[in-house]
Structure 1
Amino acid sequence: MKSDSWWKSLGFAIEGIIYAVRHERNLKIHTILAILILFFALFFKLKFLEYIILAITITLVIAAELFNTAIEYIVDYICKEESEEAKHIKDVAAGAVLTTAFGAIFVGYFVLFDRIKEYAGFALKRLPGLPSHLAVISLFITILLVVVLKAIFGRGEPLHGGMPSGHAATAFSILVSITYLTKDVMVIIMVFLLAILVCQSRVQLKIHNTTEVIFGAILGTSVTFLMYKFFL
């Protein structure tokens, strides 16, 4: 009887995880990232203890996200109307997730960065040295294409809104140029994070939607990459 009860409890727990992953976007992203990190970590020749630390850290992040989701559901169920208290509860729960996420970033940095730098550095050294003025030309062409596409789609203003996002295109064009010009892994990662923040801010401020930002990022990346590729 107890055995059956244990199996039922396990089934309910798994069902809860599946439901949360299926319906919660952030949890879905964290789960996909966790799988990718654990998979690629196998190629970095981590020590057993390092891999265990990485796995435990990822588990804590996902567990925090599950707790956050459960708390949000409870608050929404109890508080049928919006209230300041309900908002504070959700904010604190979200803060717990953010705290574990920052902790995971630090762990990932100390465990994985040297390995990533070693592999990425080897690949970057194989890139040919190219004139820096190509970065300016690529950026100029990217901006011109953004203006043309905005005119074609007929939405937004030259520097505000519309398809595609000029800020995203510019940020990722600069990212590609810096990748070719510096070949420094740390610099590239920092600029990549800045590019992501630029994109996120455009969506958060409701100047662009997600599709416009992604399209802009792809445009800036593609144009600049092709420019460097053709002028090797």
Structure 2
Amino acid sequence: MKPTRFIDSVNCAIEGIIHTARTQKHMRRHFLAALFLFPLMLLLRVTETEFILISISVCFVLFAELMNTAVEAVVDLVTTEYHPQAKIAKDVAAGAVLVASIGAAVMGYLVLSKYIFPIYKEALGVVGNPSEMGTLVSLLTVVIVVVILKAISGTGTPLEGGLPSGHAAVAFSVATVVSLSTQNPLISVLTIALAVMVSHSRLLLHIHSMREVLLGAVTGIAITLLIMFLFRYYQ
């Protein structure tokens, strides 16, 4: 029955939001991102206009996810069997979430980069520019450590599977080297994005688990930073 009181309508709306958060992992991730983003904006002391723009972007992403869930529920109510039109409806609704997320990401970058990038650049400068020898030693050390860890874990092969992910380790090692070499926050973010894409491909191919990929990423970053610090200290 359609609610007749305003408070009942509000309760129904809240129940819809709670249902979406409970059943949709992407909605939970959006809420977690918002939970991190809003205190960050206060910490960075963004302007009122910038706060409004990002808030609108966040709300639009949440709105798109709610509509996506509603479309999926209606389609499943009509039919639970595969149908081309049902697939189109769900794909288009998911596409709306993707478009909203991309827009929010662009907005967040344009607003927050001028606050975060100077801090990030200063942090990169603490380690300093890596030497050619330091770069080669870092990459070779990462590969050797990955092989040793795979031998200890007794899983996978040198090029496929096992703990940790060698592709993720090398990709994030390279991203770390490029970040330190250029000390350019934008280039650093782009190379890290490429490392994430390489790591994600290992998950899509079902070659590695999330745990193996994360361990590989941490291994690559930690060893590279350690070698860079050692080279800087002894130079």
TM value normalised by structure 2: 0.89
Equivalent AA in structure 2 for residue 101 of structure 1:
S
Q: Is 1:199 paired with 2:199?
A: yes
TM-superposed deviation, 1:198? 1.0
User: What is the DSSP-based 3-state SS (H/G/I as helix, E as strand, rest coil) of the residue aligned with 1:126?
Assistant: helix
Gaps of 5+ in 1: none
Deviation per CA, 1:59-94: give whole Å up to 9, x if none. 001110121122223323332222222221111111
Alignment of 1:44-59 (within 5 A): 44-59=44-59
- d(CA) in 1 for partners of 2:81, 2:171: 41
Residues 177-227 of structure 1, C-alpha deviation per residue, up to 9 Å, x if partnerless?
223222111110101111111111111122222221112111111221222
Aligned partner of 2:27 in structure 1 is 27
Stretch deviating more after TM superposition (30-39 or 185-194)? 30-39
Whether the 8 Å CA contact 2:147–2:158 is kept in 1: the answer is: yes
Retained in 2: the 8 A contact 1:161–1:208? Answer: yes
Q: RMSD between aligned alpha carbons? A: 2.0
For 2:182, the equivalent position in structure 1 comes to 182
Q: Which residue of 2 aligns with 1:219?
A: 219
Distance change in 2, residues 1:156/1:85 (3 Å): farther
Q: Name the counterpart of 1:108.
A: 108
Whether the aligned pair in 2 keeps the contact of 1:132 and 1:181 (CA below 8 Å) is no
Deviations 1:154-180 (A, max 9, x none): 322211222221111111111222232
Q: Equivalent residue for 2:85?
A: 85
Q: Which moved more, 1:83-92 or 1:187-196?
A: 83-92
The alpha-carbon distance between structure 1 residues 77 and 158, as it changes in their structure 2 partners (threshold 3 A), is farther
- Deviates further, 188-197 or 8-17: 8-17
TM-score, normalisation: structure 1: 0.90
What is the Cα deviation at residue 116 of structure 1?
1.6
Deviation at 1:132, TM superposition (A): 2.9
Higher mean Cα deviation, 93-102 or 24-33?
24-33
Q: Which runs of 5+ in 2 are unaligned?
A: none
How much identity, in percent, do the aligned residues show? 37
Deviation at residue 13 of structure 1 after TM alignment: 2.0
Pair 1:108–1:52, CA change in 2 (3 A) = same
Alpha-carbon distance in 2 for matches of 1:69, 1:149: 42
Q: What residue in structure 2 maps to residue 162 of structure 1?
A: 162
